[in-house]
């Protein structure tokens, strides 16, 4: 595997379910990100981790719970979601957490909450 | 606070015609500017970036962009587009404003017609 991978690619869940999204980067990067992409809206930064430590929580509801066990893996645990949480969830990584570092994105998980 | 405005939500163009996708930003400090492309069912990938130096930046797939500080713009251009350039294009800005966040625009959908 190369680059940034995400599983699953598609997920349908009910509002009472609990599920997790997984992201893995094979680039040796130190920073990892979760973004939410909704139609016709700019990308919304959700969480940032640098060297496994959370450095940013962009006022995300507690029904989204991130986990970063090491610099290569990032999870997003989901529970009691709402229909408006349906979106494409993108994971990204960068060499370090800095303004001039480009980000490398995974293909995303298309989440539908029913 | 930094912000990014992509002036066109959709740009239809015929194959082999030139195209310009417009991006304006607001920031009171030095900025780093990026263009990303997102093909259907994929994550974002970097087209080009401006960090410093020459204001004309060349990227992949024949794209280029020009940083214009006085007009706070970073427009993306290609002299002759192909059907395969049909995608969503995102302008992004980051800078040293006490944070490391990259702010993305809402995207411009480029549709290349035969």
Whether residue A67 lies within 8 A of chain B, CB to CB, comes out as: no
Which are the contacts of B46, defined by CB distance < 8 A and separation ≥ 6?
Answer: A102, A103, A104, B34, B35, B36, B59
From B55's Cα to the closest Cα of chain A, the distance in A is 16
* Residue A99 at interface with chain B, using a CB cutoff of 8 Å: yes
Predicted confidence pLDDT, tens digits, chain A (114 residues): 679 999 999 999 998 889 999 999 999 999 999 999 998 788 999 999 988 888 888 889 999 999 999 999 999 999 999 999 999 999 999 998 877 889 999 999 999 999
Residue B62: what pLDDT?
A: 96
CA pair distance B98, B94, nearest whole angstrom:
11
Decide if A21 touches B, using CB distance below 8 A. Answer: no
Q: Do A101 and A27 form a contact (C-beta atoms < 8 A)?
A: no
The 3-class SS string of B20-70 reads EECEEEECCCCEEEEEEEECCCCCEEEEEEECCCCCEEECHHHCEEEEECC
Burial of A33 (0-12, 13-18, 19+ CB in 10 A): buried
Positions in chain B whose pLDDT score sits under 70: 28, 96-100
User: CA nearest A37: which of B10, B3, B28, B42?
Assistant: B42
């Amino acid at each position: 595997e190369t680059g940034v991978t995400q599983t699953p690619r598609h997920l349908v869940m009910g509002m009472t379910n609990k599920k997790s999204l997984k992201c893995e980067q094979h680039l040796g990067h130190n920073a990892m990100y979760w973004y939410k992409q909704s139609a016709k809206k700019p990308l919304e930064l959700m969480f940032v981790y640098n060297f496994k430590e959370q450095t940013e929580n962009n006022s995300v509801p507690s029904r989204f719970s991130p986990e970063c066990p090491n610099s290569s893996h990032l999870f997003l645990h989901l529970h009691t979601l709402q229909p408006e949480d349906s979106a494409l969830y993108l994971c990204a990584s960068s060499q370090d957490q800095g303004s001039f570092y480009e980000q490398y994105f995974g293909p995303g998980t298309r989440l539908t909450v029913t | 606070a930094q912000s990014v405005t992509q002036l066109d939500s959709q740009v239809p163009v015929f194959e082999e015609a030139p195209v310009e996708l417009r991006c304006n930003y607001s920031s009171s400090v030095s900025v780093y500017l990026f263009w990303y492309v997102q093909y259907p069912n994929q994550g974002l990938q970097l087209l080009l970036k401006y960090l410093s130096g020459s204001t004309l930046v060349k990227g992949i797939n024949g794209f280029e962009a020009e940083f214009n500080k006085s007009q706070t713009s970073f427009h993306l251009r290609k002299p002759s587009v192909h059907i395969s350039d049909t995608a969503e294009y995102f302008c992004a800005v980051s800078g040293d404003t006490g944070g490391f966040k990259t702010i993305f625009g809402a995207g411009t959908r480029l549709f290349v017609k035969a």
